[in-house]
Amino acid sequence: MSTPRPTIGITTYGPEGERDAFSLPRYYTDAVAAAGGMPVLIVPSAVSVEEVLASVDGLIVAGGGDIAPDSYGGAAHETIYSVNPIRDSFEMSLLRRALEQPELPLLGICRGMQVMNIVLGGDLEAHLPEVYGEQVLHRLPPREPTTHGVRADRSGLFGEIFTDAEFPVCSWHHQAVRKLGRGLRATAHAPDGVVEGVVFDEHPFALGVQWHPEMQAADDARQLRVFSALVARARARRRP
């Protein structure tokens, strides 16, 4: 009998819309499945975050809309969109608890990396073009993905996963890390200096990427590797 796939919990968009529904682009679930994991969507509910984390072998905090600026001492900005206080509260509680569990591998993608930074006491730039200009486009107008290069630190966990010093990434954001949270180390940057990757060195496997590897994983083995590494850690955790 084959070994069961490790379960990888993935946070979702929402609740939102007239149907008060949760949703998630299938890129995430496809990437986890391709890496050998069993994708499981997790949502805010009456179930405690402790119970949620006890039910999964690994965790991905997904991308999506902006985080409420008052959660990190930021100011309102006209470009901030799709703020969802229910999601903010759930993911922050989830990540706080997950970061206390060294056996649980976790990955923050885009918004998920920003949530990780905020939970650890960092904050965000409200709108990148006002700070970094438009030498590097991190999204196309009005809100569409684009591609740019990043330069990565090849030491430690990040270097084990991303073995190339430079590579192209799918970018779809207008906010990013300003002040790094406690214990976070910047491990990748865009050509304009925007932080594109972080590692929490106090945890065996806790990292964030500002880009969207799930949107490249089907065609770029370098991007699938981050999911494969997460699933491998999750599988090792399950092993008796």
> Contact 225/162 with Cβ under 8 angstroms?
yes
Q: Which of 149, 142, 154, 121 is nearest to 216 (CA)?
A: 149
Q: Which of 125, 136, 121 is nearest to 190 (CA)?
A: 136
Catalytic residues: 110, 212, 214
C-alpha to C-alpha distance for 207 and 147, rounded to whole angstroms: 21
* 8 contact partners, CB below 8 Å, separation of at least 6: 32, 37, 38, 39, 40, 56, 57, 58, 59, 60, 230, 231, 234
At 137, list the tokens: 């486009």
Q: How far is CA 20 from CA 14, 83, 84, 109, 112, in A?
A: 7, 14, 12, 24, 21
C-alpha to C-alpha distance for 58 and 44, rounded to whole angstroms: 17
